Amino acid sequence: MTSAERFLAEHAPRFEEIRETYLDYGPLLPTRYGPPLVRLLVRDPEGIYAYWEGGTTLRVLDRTRGSEMRMDILEVGSGFLAAEPEHEYEAEIGREESGHFAAVARSNRVRTPRRGPALEVDAEWAPTSKEWEQLRALSALLAMPLPSSPKA
């Protein structure tokens, strides 16, 4: 939500909805494009999004943890997947037969962002104790807490 929209949402009085007069939702788009494909996008530190076409099994690989998850999917589809901050993910689509997975497409690799400060301090740019307190006040305001002292 941009600041203008946030402002509107917070200030708007509730009143009767304006009658919608423009109900043309536009031309139909292709339901599929052909070649097997899977792609990932990052939503936030805890969520990624995948869309695909051309497979019946989706395999999501957590490259940071070294784990994987498989799920049955429709040939063309999309979905949001739970993720962890600062993890790298890849996905594959393919077919699974008697426990054996054969990939037909592999996705791009994505990395989820940090949920809070990195805590890595540059020796040359180390915050003084006053500066650390200032950072703590900021992080509290943003609900992204910092510990009471920097990592040694």
Contact residues for other proteins (CB under 8 A)?
A: 1-8, 10-13, 15, 18-30, 33, 39, 41-45, 47, 49, 51, 78, 80, 108, 111, 113-122, 125-127, 130-131, 133-135, 138-139, 141-142, 144, 150
Q: How many residues does the chain have?
A: 152
What are residue 92's DSSP bridge partners?
A: 59, 106
Nearer to other proteins, 25 or 66 (CB): 25
Contacts of 48 (CB under 8 A, 6+ apart): 40, 41, 42, 80, 81, 83, 89, 110, 112
* Cα 51 from Cα 75, distance rounded (Å): 10
The nearer residue to other proteins, 101 or 106, going by C-beta atoms, is: 106
Is the Cβ of residue 26 or residue 66 nearer to other proteins in the bound state? 26
Q: Which is closer to other proteins, CB of 22 or CB of 100?
A: 22
- The CA-based angle 95-60-42, given to 5 degrees, is 130
Rounded to the nearest whole angstrom, what is the least distance from the CB of residue 103 to other proteins in the complex? 19
Alpha-carbon span 104 to 40, nearest angstrom: 16
Neighbours of 107 (CB within 10 A): 23
Least distance in Å: CB of 57 to other proteins? 19
